[in-house]
Structure 1
Amino acid sequence: CIDGDKMLSTTTTAAATAALTTTTLVPTILSNPNVQLVIQSSIYMTAANMLYIARRAHVRQMSKRKLLQIRLTREPGVSMRLYFTIVASWQLFVAVFPIAELLARMCGKVSFFYSYPNAQGLGLILEPISVQHLKMSKRAKRQIRLDWHRFSVNVGNVGRDGYRHPPSVELNLPHLDVPAKGWKHWPWRRRHAGPWQDEQEG
């Protein structure tokens, strides 16, 4: 009985010491500015992700689960490096989404992240709120897209039409697409100024 009492006393003392250490250590850790920054950042990113998923699910009239599945699914042929690049880029956009979406909404648009697995790239898209009921092909004509993905670029001489001619190369380059203005892969596919324009205008 004496040994049992000693063991119980030792266990109780150890538990009390551990509890005291924990109550002393936790506030010390939480008072560390770096730890506070990590906690605050985690809370913000969690809230921003919830906002992005909720907003996009509402705009596109689909379930949050489906939308999250679209964003996190690694499609066939996509390397792990590209997959992590896409997810990391999406999270960078999510970090500024509350402000970006507010500004877009003020202009009558919605903003969202898009990935191009086959073209090995990604993009940010602005789209009018008024076209959300249309099919993707029709909505695309009203979009403004800031993209980075692989496409074919002519690198030959500039012809009399103002455009570069073949040969062409496959490159991953940032570019701007504005279908309403006829801009596609700008500035890499654009009409160059030249003396032929003066001749035509004269």
Structure 2
Amino acid sequence: MNAPPPPMPPPLPRLLLLTDRAQLAKGRGLSATVVECAAAGLEAVLVREHDLEARAHAALVETLLAVPGLTVLTSRRPHPAAHGHHLAAHQPAPSGGRFGRSCHDAGELARAGAEGAAWTTLSPYAATASKPGHGPPVDPALARLPGAPPVWALGGIDATNAADALRHGAAGVAVMGVVMRARDPAAQVADLLAALDEEER
């Protein structure tokens, strides 16, 4: 008797927020900001507070895991309850668990696919204020590379070009500074989701 086929992986949320508490406006807390963004429709967050000591990092992840409907990923270091672990381009693939990888060219995308990554971020999609001078923008057509995992376009994404990333084959977009630096982060999330909704109509 043939074994049943494996379940289809869930689609990527269209919008992924990368955290950077150093970019928040004075007086803003990171957890509260993410909660506000989730209320505005955010479905996924990548915790990338690499400088936090282990106990504080775990507490932050656990706080965000309590937000209803929010997919919580961790960057570079895993958390046992998180929904996945995002690797830097140079990190070895884990022996188990759901993971993704930062990619910047076709070779890295192909490697991620061969390793079994569930997603990638592809950057820089456009010039970005968070990492000025960080390489020339990638060819957006790489999001359609055969065999590559689903792609979140990252870097320089805002409401004016988010839909363009979907048109080039990205499964969604990933943002950091445009939300983290905003006076009203939740409003930025709402604007980004509205732009993505318009493209999908």
Task: Provide the TM-score with structure 2 as the length reference.
Answer: 0.21
Q: Which has the higher helix share?
A: 1
Give the alignment's TM-score, normalised by structure 1: 0.21
Rg larger for: 1
Q: Which structure is higher in RCO with an 8 Å CA cutoff and minimum separation 6?
A: 2
